[in-house]
A and B are shown apart, each in its own frame.
Chain A
């Protein structure tokens, strides 16, 4: 069975540009969450979407936005990129996102480098 898939795997951008990262959840999973992981740190929560609605937002600026599509895939958008946005962006999926304690399963992430 396919796990969580993310694209692209690597991306290089310059300051001020915009980027779109994509995520396909495990088949049957309806909840997608996005995390940012800076080198040497644990992942930090950005967004959670369940049934195409935003259900949670972390402490990130409005330059970060996301959406979930009818097939439950998701996009993370970041505008006006800063050097500090360089990180591994992780997508995680779970069957539900309504308070149940099913674990989140992660993809291998998109490595974003800002020059």
Chain B
């Protein structure tokens, strides 16, 4: 059975304090790993897709990386507006088109 585990469950950072969120996965035949951001009361907002180990994607203060067992979302010099829940999801040969999500990491950035 495919499994996606995100850590930590919650993270509190001061503005400017860089850190990383982790998404580890145990799946059969990874077809894509997706990062989303979700604000309270809103739907997930797409950030990145990664397909193969060694791939990296960047957007503003965010950088996503992928290995054969996990993905990291690096946040450089975060700002309060980066506060949100970050969700990791995978598509696999078992899941068809469905996304299998982790529980998310709740990030709070304080001024």
Contact = CB atoms under 8 A, between A and B. Distances in A.
B43 A101 contact: no
Q: Which of A4, A104, A108 has the most CB of B within 10 A?
A: A104
Contact of B46 (A43, A45, A48, A105): A105
Interface in A5-53: 31, 33, 35, 40-45, 48, 50
B59 interface: no
Given A42-B103, A42-B104, A101 B98 contact: no
Interface residues of A, number: 27
Interface of B: 4, 31-32, 34, 36, 41-46, 49, 51, 87, 89, 91, 95-104
A38 to B, nearest CB: 10
A97 B97 contact: yes
Contacts of A109: 42-43
A61 interface: no
Given A42-B89, A92-B99, A106-B45, 20 more contacts: A33-B97, A33-B98, A33-B99, A42-B103, A42-B104, A43-B99, A43-B101, A48-B96, A50-B97, A55-B96, A56-B96, A90-B44, A101-B32, A101-B49, A101-B91, A103-B34, A105-B46, A106-B44, A107-B43, A108-B41
Interface string A75-115: 00000000000000010100001010101111111000000
A90 B91 CA distance: 18
A106 B100 CA distance: 14
A107 to B, nearest CB: 5
B42 to A, nearest CB: 5
Nearest to B98: A45
Contacts of A48: 96-98
Contact of B99 (A4, A41, A55, A104): A104
B104 A4 contact: no
A43 B34 CA distance: 13
Contacts of A55: 96-97
Given A42-B87, A103-B34, A103-B49, A90 B102 contact: no
